[in-house]
Structure 1
């Protein structure tokens, strides 16, 4: 074998290796280009929604749906009126929610009046009611968090402890489209209700806690009151459900809690479902199946320490739609509000169906690393 022949094979291997590296780099760049194109398309959609009403400040009408039972209600009204006046906007349309209606009718009135943004001032229940009416429209939602948990405000990165800053974001913040989770609840008597979730809906332990948290304790201790209720209910019995996600096969599981998450952050910086993003077009279905205290300890360690590895007693799966059937009626909650017992739930993500002003943690707007 001559010298040229000896070097042909190694040289060929080097060439192949270099080509593989080039292909890998091109593939990586192509992936980033595709992701960037998706981001640009998303931004164009938002810009188009905003450009559909190219109004000057004196032509922009602001609606406010406020829970007047909240301690800061009067101050919020003053701040919104002052903000509108300073910007040269008309006097805002202020409407109070009620125990019977947390904001649905008031939001419809704001839409009929031609409001360009409707501000929800209250807890997550008020925000959810307003969002339910605004989803699918080109009218933006403004968020003024006055509740105990303020979960939606936390998840989108609003400075929820600074109401004046939240007012500024609601009036002038950059609009961003987020997903909504459309729910169909079937009751034990056969009645079906349509609901919308922005944060987390679920049945089992979480609903029991929301239903049994003492109002007096919430007023004194804030969100820590949920912990007191949780300790009283955590060791309850598991329930049998059958869940089907997208076109997958149904599976029957005994759970202590089943969650459908549009967002994943809770109070105290706890990332219950880190993969749940409010603008990714998916929901995260979470099955909690602990059998004893040690299982709960592992769940607690995973969520508080933010371990990425899966554990068998807490499974998370992403889907666009899903259906849950309960073997027996199960208490259910939506974004922290107990909504009674259900025997089945249908859920489907409505991607980028709601415009929200002042989103600070827009996942689709993050630049490439």
Structure 2
């Protein structure tokens, strides 16, 4: 009898939480349709790393959840021979989108079970892996505010985001940083430093998307110091692909390594949407082809 395909599910995230008691039966039906002998294991977030590490010994492990769950899996699997299948059950599913994975559950299960593995890049900061992006400033602050609203009021993520963004703008942090993209240090003041795993587009119709996950580069964007009103105007223009490189960014570039010094001993940073506090300096690097992901 063929070994069962391990399916590690974040039962508290996004679509999985909405399924409730039907979660296991719905996923079982999807993998049965793909003729895959699946072992479905719904877990809380803290249980997932250990489960992924154990399941990886079988060669292929499928994770069902959002980008945070995928990032957790990448932390365990990057640099190994294990293959990672994705079942996008989060809110945004950025990596799944950039990989061209189907949004239909049965189609995604079929790809995860029968697709071929391809090597993609991951990024890393101080030993912590991320598959999409890292940011300092407004975004981590907004995430903290959003999580507080979700905990206190029980609001869903999408509803909590609007007042959380407003609260972050009210506090409006500007970070004094020193950065080195491999060409020497420079001091910057910015409300938002963004570091992407591969090249993120600023073009109209493709904002925030990646054409490739194998470029072997970090993309770095530091928004210029400005007033709240001008920052909102920048955000509106960026949404329509009208950001101006010369005016809107104090630092903009691509590199294989990046070093960032904060004004304190540590700094809050969002890694694939999960906020952590990391000691300064932050040492980023790209790890080319480090993660084997199952694609159509």
TM-score relative to the length of structure 1: 0.68
In 2, are the aligned partners of 1:120 and 1:142 still within 8 Å (CA)? yes
Q: Hey, what does 1:93 align to over in structure 2?
A: 39
1:27-66 CA distance string (max 9 Å, x none): xxxxxxxxxxxxxxxxxxxxxxxxxxxxxxx646411111
| Deviation (angstroms), 1:317 | 0.7
**Separation in 1, partners of 2:118, 2:238:** 28
**SS state of the match for residue 327, structure 1?**
coil
**Unpaired stretches in structure 2, ≥5 consecutive residues:** none
Q: Is 1:71 equivalent to 2:18 in the alignment?
A: yes
**RMSD in angstroms over aligned alpha carbons?**
2.8
**SS state of the match for residue 81, structure 1?**
helix
Q: Hey, what does 2:169 align to over in structure 1?
A: 234
**SS state of the match for residue 262, structure 2?**
strand
Q: Hey, what does 1:134 align to over in structure 2?
A: 77
| Deviation (angstroms), 1:319 | 0.6
**Separation in 2, partners of 1:297, 1:358:** 37
* 1:197-212 → structure 2 map (5 Å cutoff): 197-212=130-145
Q: Hey, what does 1:21 align to over in structure 2?
A: none
Aligned mate of 1:317, from 241, 249, 253: 253
Q: Is 1:339 equivalent to 2:276 in the alignment?
A: yes
Larger Rg: 1
Q: Hey, what does 1:284 align to over in structure 2?
A: 219
| Deviation (angstroms), 1:255 | 1.2
Aligned mate of 2:95, from 148, 152, 157: 152
**Separation in 2, partners of 1:147, 1:275:** 19
In 2, are the aligned partners of 1:242 and 1:250 still within 8 Å (CA)? yes
**Separation in 2, partners of 1:345, 1:256:** 17
Richer in strand (by share): 2
Gap change, CA 1:83 and 1:278, over 3 Å in 2: same
Range with greater deviation from structure 2 (166-175 or 79-88): 79-88
**SS state of the match for residue 247, structure 2?**
coil
In 2, are the aligned partners of 1:63 and 1:110 still within 8 Å (CA)? yes
**Separation in 1, partners of 2:72, 2:31:** 23
**Separation in 2, partners of 1:130, 1:73:** 23
Gap change, CA 1:336 and 1:217, over 3 Å in 2: farther
TM-score relative to the length of structure 2: 0.84
Q: Hey, what does 1:363 align to over in structure 2?
A: none
**Unpaired stretches in structure 1, ≥5 consecutive residues:** 1-57, 185-193, 360-369
**SS state of the match for residue 312, structure 1?**
helix
**Separation in 1, partners of 2:113, 2:27:** 8
Q: Hey, what does 1:166 align to over in structure 2?
A: 108
**Separation in 2, partners of 1:59, 1:297:** 55
